[in-house]
């Protein structure tokens, strides 16, 4: 039986893609909030955290 026809594998791949999409959405919100807060507060640490979140978001998008 081909691997693509295995219902368990199909379900697991679908779940993995959903989790990765949720993670990417979470990182987008995290990046927006930290960058916005950092700019408003003038906090280099928050801005750096936001930039890190953008990098992680780019990684998640590539994975998807």
Q: What is the DSSP string of 5-41?
A: G-HHHHHHHHHHHHHHHHHHHHHHHHHHHHHHHHHHH
Q: Is 42 left (phi over 0), alpha (psi -120 to 50) or beta?
A: left
Q: Rounded to the nearest 5 degrees, what angle is found at the Cα of 64, between the Cα atoms of 35 and 20?
A: 70
Q: Is residue 3 part of a domain?
A: no
- Summarised one tens digit per residue, pLDDT across range 1-59 is 565 678 899 999 999 999 999 999 999 999 999 999 999 999 999 999 999 999 999 99
Q: How many domains does the chain have?
A: 1
Tell whether 10 is covered by a domain.
no
Question: Is 33 inside any structural domain?
Answer: yes
pLDDT digit string, tens, across residues 34-50: 999 999 999 999 999 99
Residue 42 domain flag? yes
């Amino acid at each position: 039986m081909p691997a693509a026809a295995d219902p368990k594998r199909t379900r697991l791949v679908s779940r993995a893609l959903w989790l990765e999409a949720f993670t990417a959405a979470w990182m987008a919100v995290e990046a927006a909030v930290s960058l916005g807060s950092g700019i408003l507060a003038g906090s280099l640490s928050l801005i750096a955290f936001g930039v890190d979140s953008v990098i992680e978001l780019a990684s998640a998008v590539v994975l998807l």
